[in-house]
């Protein structure tokens, strides 16, 4: 019923964020709890006891509001550049690299998210679906984002450098929706791992001409 992901962020210069935090680089956890509301305080008690955060916006909201809460911050038309990996463990050296790049977020919209892989997602066998990394602990994604074309090289360079520094600590592939088109076929194969050949067989049967190819493509042969 409870899930949270970690993020590096720059505090937006707008409500509901207090002015003294505007444009500061910080880290946070975005929580979602879908259990009984009367148990929410009990569930969050050990989290709040860990340390008092700079901001605590946790409270009941409708699910559509949760799904749209970042729409104003990330409107259509922004430039995005991504790199991602699955991760089995966070070593001290890996954490040090995360801190280094988190302190150097190149633009207000740029971020890094780290999503835990647990619960129902981790209880399904890695060969039971296309997803080959259900046994990983985290899915991380580094994202350079900005509306200004003049900042393209800045966000791309930061994202690539961040990825290059953390990839040696990774489990291998990445969540396929986080892959960019410039990462190549081998990266797609690595992401599907042992399941790739089975997916090629299915592709050959249902789409032998590769009509559906505007994606992280699995070729029919």
Mean pLDDT calculated for residue range 7-11: 98
- Binning pLDDT at 50, 70 and 90, where does residue 172 land? confident
Q: Does residue 198 lie within any of the structural domains?
A: no
7 vs 103: CA distance, rounded Å: 12
Residue-level pLDDT at 17: 92
Q: Does residue 206 lie within any of the structural domains?
A: no
Mean pLDDT calculated for residue range 164-168: 98
| SS (HEC) of the chain | CEEEEEEEEECCCCCCCCHHHCCCEEEEEEEEECCCHHHHHHHHHHHHHHCCCCCCCCCCCCHHHHHCCCCCCCCCCCEEEEEEEEECCCCHHHHHHHHHHHCCCCCCCCEEEEEECCHHHHHCCCCCCCCCCCCCCEEEEEEEEECCHHHHHHHHHHHHHHHHHHHHHCCCCCCHHHCCCCCCHHHHHHHHHHHHHHHHHHHHHHCCCCCCCCCCCCCCC
Q: What percent of the chain has pLDDT over 70?
A: 100
Q: What domain range is 71 assigned to?
A: 2-178
pLDDT, tens only, 65-114: 988 989 999 999 999 999 999 999 999 999 999 999 999 999 999 999 99
CA angle 2, 16, 36 (to 5 degrees): 25
Q: Does residue 204 lie within any of the structural domains?
A: no
Residue 135 reports pLDDT greater than 90: yes
CATH classification at residue 39: 3.40.462.20
Mean pLDDT calculated for residue range 6-20: 95
Mean pLDDT calculated for residue range 51-61: 92
Q: Does residue 69 lie within any of the structural domains?
A: yes
Residue-level pLDDT at 66: 84
Q: Does residue 64 lie within any of the structural domains?
A: yes
70 vs 66: CA distance, rounded Å: 8
Residue-level pLDDT at 195: 96
Directed axis angle between helix 185-192 and helix 196-206, to 10°?
110
Total structural domains in the chain?
A: 1
Residue-level pLDDT at 93: 98
Give residue 106's Cα distance to chain centre: 17
Q: Does residue 116 lie within any of the structural domains?
A: yes
Q: Does residue 213 lie within any of the structural domains?
A: no
Give residue 29's Cα distance to chain centre: 12
Q: Could you tell me which of 80, 76, 75, 73 has the C-alpha nearest to residue 149?
A: 80
Select the highest-mean-pLDDT range: 155-159, 191-195, 213-217: 155-159
Contacts of 100 (CB under 8 A, 6+ apart): 165
Mean pLDDT calculated for residue range 17-42: 95
Residue-level pLDDT at 205: 97
Mean pLDDT calculated for residue range 47-57: 92
Q: Does residue 201 lie within any of the structural domains?
A: no
Give residue 149's Cα distance to chain centre: 23
């Amino acid at each position: 019923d409870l899930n949270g992901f970690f993020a590096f962020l720059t505090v937006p210069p707008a409500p509901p964020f207090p002015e003294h935090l505007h444009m500061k680089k910080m880290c946070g956890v975005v929580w979602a709890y879908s259990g009984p509301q009367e148990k929410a305080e009990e569930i969050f008690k050990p989290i709040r006891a860990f340390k008092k955060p700079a901001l605590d916006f946790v409270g009941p909201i409708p699910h559509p509001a949760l799904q749209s809460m970042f729409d104003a911050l990330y409107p259509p038309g922004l430039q995005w550049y991504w790199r991602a990996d699955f991760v089995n463990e966070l070593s001290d050296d890996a954490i040090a690299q995360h801190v280094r790049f988190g302190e150097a977020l190149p633009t207000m919209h740029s971020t890094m998210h780290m999503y835990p892989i647990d619960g129902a997602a981790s209880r399904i066998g890695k060969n039971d679906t296309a997803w080959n990394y259900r046994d990983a602990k985290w899915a991380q994604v580094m994202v350079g984002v900005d509306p200004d074309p003049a900042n393209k090289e800045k966000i791309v360079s930061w994202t690539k450098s961040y990825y290059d520094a953390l990839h040696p600590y990774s489990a291998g592939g990445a969540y396929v929706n986080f892959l960019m088109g410039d990462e190549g076929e081998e990266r797609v194969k690595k992401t599907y791992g042992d399941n790739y050949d089975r997916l090629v067989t299915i592709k050959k049967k249902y789409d032998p001409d590769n009509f559906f190819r505007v994606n992280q493509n699995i070729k029919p042969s």
